[in-house]
């Protein structure tokens, strides 16, 4: 009697398409979440940086104004004859030295007001032998209404960016007061170039941008760097080119560096 052949058992191939779609949708959601968090954080960082930078400018202007001898400024006439006074050159050298301390400041200047409402320069930190030197009494025709108002009303000013023939600036201005009776003798202003402002802003945003880029790399290359749940053969599982521990440690270092920078 001929024995019947054993039945052939066919194992159906699992359908991994739903799992692939799930992973794909999860990756898209993670990418969208990372981008949204990075955008939100950077927007808040920009607002915080601008507020901090303007306050820092105002503080610097007040410190510089406090270092200027109000009696010396009060003796100036706002004309070319001021250059004949030794105190003019001493104050000029003082402003130049202060400018060298605060390397982010481009101009430090002392302003006065005319009876007709115009404002003029007593002096700034530009050396006398420089081509950009402006003589005392030069009327600043490009002053904004807020700038003129700050000089005329003897109030603090924070504005910018504003543009004139020398460039585009963020400006802080404070009154110079006589320490004896507190009356205002002039106004002191400082200018920071917009390019310097933006450069510092970019440095502020760089750590968070690097963190977001690193997290996006994790999501984007995750399918290629780590074994797939449906990888059944050793050859397919060996597609990982970067050791998991090294890659995880690198991401951990990025996050740790970001947290340390943020706390600092």
Burial 43-73 (b: 16+ CB within 10 A, else e): eebeeebeeebbeebbebbeebbeebbbebb
Locate 13 and state its tokens: 């191939």
Name the pTM for this structure. 0.74
CB atoms within 10 A of CB 242: 13
Locate 90 and state its tokens: 């001493």
CA dist 256 → 30, 61, 207, 250 (Å) = 20, 36, 11, 10
Q: Provide mean pLDDT across the span 13-30.
A: 65
CA-wise closest residue to 189 among 110, 106, 88, 86: 110
Q: Provide mean pLDDT across the span 249-261.
A: 71
Whether the Cβ atoms of residue 140 and residue 119 lie closer than 8 Å to each other: yes
Locate 194 and state its tokens: 């917009």
Q: What is the pLDDT of residue 189?
A: 95
Share of the chain above pLDDT 90, in %: 41
Strands 119-124 and 157-164 come out as unpaired
**Can you tell me the distance from the alpha carbon of 240 to that of 244, in angstroms, rounded to the nearest whole number?**
8
Condensed to tens digits (0 to 9), the pLDDT of residues 183-210 reads: 899 999 999 999 998 888 888 888 788 8
């Amino acid at each position: 009697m001929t024995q019947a052949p054993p039945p052939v058992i066919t194992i159906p191939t699992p359908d991994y398409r739903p799992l692939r779609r799930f992973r794909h949708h999860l990756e898209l959601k993670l990418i969208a979440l990372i981008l949204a968090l990075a955008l939100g954080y950077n927007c808040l960082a920009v607002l915080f940086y601008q507020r901090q930078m303007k306050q820092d400018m105002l503080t610097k202007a007040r410190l510089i104004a406090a270092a200027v001898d109000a009696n010396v400024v009060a003796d100036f006439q706002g004309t070319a004859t001021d250059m004949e006074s030794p105190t003019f050159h001493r104050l000029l050298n003082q402003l130049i030295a202060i400018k060298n301390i605060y390397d982010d400041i481009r101009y430090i200047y002392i302003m006065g007001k005319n009876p007709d409402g115009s404002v003029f320069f007593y002096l700034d930190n530009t050396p006398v032998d420089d081509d950009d030197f402006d003589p005392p009494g030069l009327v600043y025709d490009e002053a904004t209404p807020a700038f003129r108002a700050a000089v005329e009303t003897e109030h603090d000013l924070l504005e910018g960016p504003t543009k004139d023939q020398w460039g585009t600036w963020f400006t802080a201005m404070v009154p110079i007061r006589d320490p004896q009776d507190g009356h205002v003798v002039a106004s002191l202003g400082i200018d920071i170039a917009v390019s310097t402002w933006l450069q510092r802003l970019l440095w502020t945003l760089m750590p968070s941008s690097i963190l977001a880029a690193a997290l996006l790399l994790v999501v984007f290359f995750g399918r290629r760097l780590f074994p797939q749940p449906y990888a059944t053969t050793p050859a397919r599982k060996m597609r990982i080119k970067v050791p998991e521990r090294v890659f995880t440690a690198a991401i951990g270092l990025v996050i740790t560096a970001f947290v340390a920078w943020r706390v600092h």
